[in-house]
Amino acid sequence: MEKNWGFAWLGRFILAAFALIFTLISLRFIPDPVRAAAASGVTLSSPMGVAIARIGFGAFPLGCAAYAIMCLVSTQRLLAGLTFVSTMVSVVLAVRILGIAVDHTVGGASVPLAAEILLLALSVFGLSAEMARRRRSLADAA
């Protein structure tokens, strides 16, 4: 058993949460993108719009979830996975904040905004913990 298992567990928890969230997003859009978009007030009026929504809101989040799951199962890939999650959530958060500033959509964006801030904080903490775990493992090996 690994000496610093707690840090690996934290990283795995963060990757699992990210994978779950992105899988749930994709499962809403892959089977019925028209209904999923309509729930947010978006209308898809052409077959190409439906295909773009299915790919953009279904396939891409599912691919991100699949990558997170692949990183979740290997201690060697935890750092790559946590870096990916931190990067992805940072970009999502930046775009959400830009949208709030440009579109004045503060009210409807507050719950996802809080969740994204929490996930970013956890992923940065997990990333720092994983880097510290690796430094300690290298020091112990030397």
Q: Any idea where the domains of the chain sit in the sequence?
A: 5-141
Angle among Cα 89, 94, 99 to the nearest 5 degrees reads 125
**Is the predicted pLDDT of residue 137 greater than 70, yes or no?**
yes
Banded pLDDT at 125 (limits 50, 70, 90): very high
Is pTM beyond 0.95 here?
no
Report the half-sphere exposure of 105 (CA within 13 A, side-chain side): 15
Q: What is the pLDDT of residues 23-44, one digit of tens each?
A: 999 999 999 999 999 998 889 9
Residue 23 in contact with residue 61, Cβ under 8 Å?
A: yes
Q: Is the pLDDT of residue 89 over 80?
A: yes
Residue 45: which H helix or E strand, with range? none
- Average model confidence (pLDDT) for the chain? 89
pLDDT for 4 beyond 60: no
3-state helix, strand, coil in the chain (%, to 5): 85, 0, 15
Contact 16/67 with Cβ under 8 angstroms? Answer: no
